[in-house]
Amino acid sequence: MDTYHYKYIAIEGNIGAGKTSLATRLAGETGARLILEQFEDNSFLPKFYEDQERYAFPLELSFLADRFHQLKKGVSSHDLFSPFTIADYFIHKSLIFARKTLNDEEYKLYFTMFDIIDTVLPKPELLIYLYCSVDRLHANIRKRGRSYEQKIASEYLQKIQDGYLDYIRKQQEMRIVIIDTNNIDFVENPEDYPKLKKIILDEYPVGVHRITP
């Protein structure tokens, strides 16, 4: 039986980075319990891309509530038949997106609610960040063809990217691996996926590790 270094791994990245595809394949091959964000069920999302100022606050609140309930149920409960849990998001993405989409007053209120939720959820033992350029993200978004995503501006993607990287720079007590995926395609190219799998399942000390496959 394979042994794994971590009980809870979160895969993060910008919109279109490939989080869900990678987490799903990895869980399928390892028998890990898989937690996928249910963003397609959020009725505010298409409205947000049409009018960000109006719908940012209800969107971020609804995402926060959904993520909290899903992670509390999925990560906190014990599964004897799964060697570890892998999620295609980390609850702190809620804070990263909210900081970039909400005004100061809205963010202050949002942070108060987030801080309460954050204290009761387990933290991932390893956080993976899939780094892609904005041009590559746009190409991935076009390829998967969700109509409401096609108008996402480059400026918005860059703001989110900057938010993630700023968050990562401030972390002192987490294991974080930034994987540069600009020159690989783990969905289309069979030889690229094993490289990512090996990187993710490796053992790391606390700190930020930058890897180019």
| Of 88, 135, 166, 180, catalytic | 88
- 174: number of Cβ within 10 Å: 16
Q: Is 210 helix (H, G, I), strand (E, B) or coil?
A: strand
CA separation (Å) from 30 to 124, 126, 189, 192? 17, 16, 20, 17
Q: In what order do the strands lie in the sheet with 175-180?
A: 33-35, 85-87, 8-13, 126-131, 175-180, 207-211
CA–CA distance, 32 with 54 (Å, rounded to integer)? 39
Kindly tell me the sign of the dihedral angle through the C-alpha atoms of 212, 189, 187, 122. Answer: negative
The answer to whether 89 touches 42, Cβ cutoff 8 Å, is no
CA–CA distance, 190 with 195 (Å, rounded to integer)? 10
CA–CA distance, 8 with 122 (Å, rounded to integer)? 9
CA–CA distance, 26 with 23 (Å, rounded to integer)? 5
Catalytic status, residue 66: no
List active site positions.
88
